Each structure stands twice: as C-alpha cells, then as structure tokens.
Amino acid sequence: MAEAAKPAGKTPVDIDVFVEAGDWPAEVELTRLVDRAVAMAFAETGASGASELSIVFSDDAHIQTLNAQWRGKDKPTNVLSFPAFSFAKGGPLPPMLGDIVLAAETVSREAALEDKPLANHITHLVIHGLLHLLGHDHETEAEAEEMEAIERRALARLAIPDPYA
C-alpha cells in the first residue's frame, strides 16, 4: 500500500511550542507562525527525515541568563538555538533537532524599530534559529551570505519582505 503524500508545506518534524514568559501573541497564532516558518525552511534547505523541535517563547531576563551561560554574553538577544545533536549539514536529521528560544521584549523592540509586523519578525527569527539547528551559521561573510539567502527565499515563499533590505 502506498504511503499517503504529505500536504504541501508540511514537515516530518514534531514541533513543541511553549510560551514560557513574555507578552506574545496567542499560542494558537504562534503555533501557526512556527509551522509555516519550519515548513518553508525545510522546503528551502531540502532537509528531510523525522525529528523533533522545541520552540520556547520567553522573555529578555531568561534569554539573558541563557546567553551568559552558553555564549558568555551577559545581555539579552532576540533568538538562541541549542542543537540536541551534532550532524552534518545536509545529512539525515537527528531524532531531536534541539531548542529555539525567543525573547519577547527584544523581538518586539526590533520589530517596532524596523517598522515590520511582529508576526513577520517572529517568522524570520524561527527560520534563522532553525537554520542554526540544521548546521548553518554566519561566522564568516560567505556563511552569512548563504544563510541570509536561504532566509530570504523561505520568507519570500510566505510573502514576507526581505528582512535584510
């Protein structure tokens, strides 16, 4: 018996969305944004295989603690990614991709400063965080250009303007 085709835009990733702290849109809206962002990131990278992913919507205080503990930077940031396993970019997905944590105050402040809808900024940061979990980085100019190009294409699929323009 043939396996049923997955609907367009779906991924084999089991996503857990958790609102821990902060002033965020309703969880149902966040889940919708996350599902769409993950689907588009997977479509652009060609990543495949079953895996799990956790997205935590938190606040600046919590992300500052995480940033200090894991990166040695005692300040809040918009998004952090914590891979569960190391794997080769483009290789089969591990059973658990890891965690992406977003900070409410920083994300809201950036969206306002950049005059963009909060939903668009959240979507961009989820894609950005997921690309880190999929092995992408922006430590060198070439890496940054590659990662930003994937982000732009994934966002364009959702009719979200280029965040780097």
Phi-psi group of 57: left, alpha or beta (phi > 0 → left; psi -120 to 50 → alpha; rest → beta) = beta
Contact 95, 52 (CB under 8 A): yes
CA 163 to CA 95: how far, in whole Å? 31
Q: Return the CATH number at 68.
A: 3.40.390.30
Note whether residue 5 is domain-resident: no
Note whether residue 165 is domain-resident: no
pLDDT tens sequence across 43-55:
999 888 889 999 9
Q: Provide the domain limits for residue 38.
A: 13-157
Note whether residue 7 is domain-resident: no
Note whether residue 163 is domain-resident: no
Note whether residue 1 is domain-resident: no
Whole-prediction pTM: 0.91
Q: How many domains does the chain have?
A: 1
pLDDT tens sequence across 113-150:
999 999 999 999 999 999 999 999 888 899 899 999 99
Confidence of residue 10 (pLDDT cuts 50, 70, 90): low
